Chain A
Amino acid sequence: MVDSQSSASRESSSGDDKPLVEIRGLTFYRGSRAIFDNIDIDIHRGKLTAIMGPSGTGKTTLLRLIGGQLRPHAGTILVDGESVTKLSYKQLYQLRKRIGMLFQNGALFTHQNVFDNVAFALREHTKLPESMIRDIVLMKLEAVGLRGAHQLMPVELSGGMSRRVALARAIALDPMMMMYDEPFTGQDPITMGVLVSLLRRLNDALHLTSILVSHDVKETLSIADYAYVISEGKVVEHGTADALKNTQSDWVKQFLNGLSDGPVPFHYPAGDLYEDLLNGGKS
């Protein structure tokens, strides 16, 4: 395994070395299937940490666990020193104000225009006058390059624009931490490039701590300070981008290089093909 205090580390926004998110012994089941089986993850302050893994491994689930939308069956999740599972309703909602999350499909409010989407949290949580809200919203939209689109409705936006609006909405309250759920999926190469550099710039300019969940290996590793690779409920590898490239694990090699041949079979486990065809599936 690789040393977590690696050379790639950038200046930390606070002097304190304790991770912002500390996950210990996390276990979570869906039915009888263990999505996470006793995993440990650290998210360091000021860093952009990637969580990678194939579809369906539970990356979204992990973000929901950190955000307190799901409860683990065992283990602890500390966010800025607070145990997410032990917080009261009020405390949890207080904590969420400091966390921004970008959902997989943007999850914009379809009945409100871009401006109102970004203003939503400000109007809910602050008593700022409308003129100041306007300034903040336009600044956030400027940061994602969409100030000119503030009058548009979500249906009028392209996929990449929706995601950037959702990003502006997520940073509206100046969170300490951002969680991105597969921000690159389904984007054309140009939008992808825009998003990739945007995430890095936001993290550094706003002194955020970012968790980036993705299966787009190349883009993710190009901006991540540190990465975890999870599969079948376990952390199979973690380290800096360079360290991951020199991994000893065949599985991780196959995943990072996108090879179809390797320890991961192409076929979902199934019975004999002949049997299936000849007996109409009755075994």
Chain B
Amino acid sequence: MIAFIENLGESALNIFEKLGRGVVFFINALAGFPALILRFTLVIQQLYAVGVLSLIIIGVAGFFVGMVLGLQGYNTLIDFGAEESLGVVVALTLVRELGPVVSALLYAGRAGSALTAEIGLMKATEQLSAMEMMAVDPMHRVIAPRLLAGIIAVPLLAALFSAVGVMGGYFVGVGLVGVDEGTFWSQMQDSVDIYDDVLNGVIKSIVFGIVVTWIAVFEGYDTVPTSEGVSRATTRTVVHGSLAVLGLDFVLTALMFGD
């Protein structure tokens, strides 16, 4: 029993210690942002790696999710004779929730894991140490551009996800089950609010972008420098990143749409 409490205390301490290191790490990485203005190519390279290379999975997933929303929404709405509201349902669900959340989850799995593995391997093979000895701070040269690229990429990916999702909903709703095209779009235009819905969705995806990328680069940098360590860190990025997205989504939703 005592041992159990001891273990509990120890894990709690470890968690807080790691959180502390993570916060210090984040601040150090932020300190590298101003210098990136002059060397934006570093960020662009990373935008390609985390953003452009995620386009396909985001686009395909968005289209499927939109099609499912179109079908499910239609089947539910038709019971109330409200099927012309399908456009609104699809758009609101995507812009407020599924766009930011699902794209952040996909980003964690596709780009976050790659970031962790890349940085972890650089650490394990002493590339980060070598950089330090060449008087180049890896926090500024490796971590900061990746963090910034992630923060820029995730909201854009979420926007793309929502846009493609609406197309998917349109394809099913208007193309397959026969909702009137005019009402589909005009109801959507009337009911989706730029501040309440779109802006809040964007804020969500910015927060997710920061948190998931932070977890990914920190896990990579904090890796135990062995092959096992890198593989564990990569798994942790996906698990912790996804849980953080879902948890934060609840908190943010409560704050934004709670009243």
Interface residues of A (CB under 8 A from B): 64, 67, 69, 93-94, 96-97, 99, 101, 103-105, 107-110, 120-121, 124-125, 166, 169-170, 173
Contact = CB atoms under 8 A, between A and B. Distances in A.
15 contacts: A64-B129, A67-B133, A96-B133, A101-B130, A101-B133, A105-B125, A105-B126, A107-B125, A108-B127, A109-B122, A109-B127, A121-B134, A124-B134, A124-B136, A166-B130
Contacts of B126: 103-105, 107
Given A110-B125, A121-B135, A125-B136, 20 more contacts: A64-B129, A67-B132, A67-B133, A69-B129, A69-B132, A93-B135, A93-B137, A96-B133, A96-B135, A101-B133, A103-B126, A103-B133, A105-B126, A107-B125, A109-B130, A121-B134, A121-B136, A124-B134, A124-B136, A170-B134
Interface in B118-167: 121-122, 125-127, 129-130, 132-137, 141
Contact of A69 (B133, B134, B136): B133
Contacts of B135: 93-94, 96-97, 121, 124-125
A98 B100 CA distance: 48
A270 B130 CA distance: 37
Interface of B: 121-122, 125-127, 129-130, 132-137, 141
Contacts of B125: 105, 107, 110
- Per DSSP, chain A at the interface is mixed
Contact of B133 (A94, A99, A104, A125): A99
Contacts of A101: 130, 133
A252 to B, nearest CB: 30
Contacts of A69: 129, 132-133
A171 to B, nearest CB: 11
B134 A120 contact: yes
A143 to B, nearest CB: 18
B20 to A, nearest CB: 19
Contacts of A67: 132-133
Nearest to A93: B135
Nearest to B137: A93
Contacts of A125: 135-136
B9 to A, nearest CB: 21
B124 to A, nearest CB: 10
Given A67-B133, A96-B132, A97-B135, A124 B127 contact: no
A225 B222 CA distance: 40
Contact of B134 (A94, A96, A110): A96
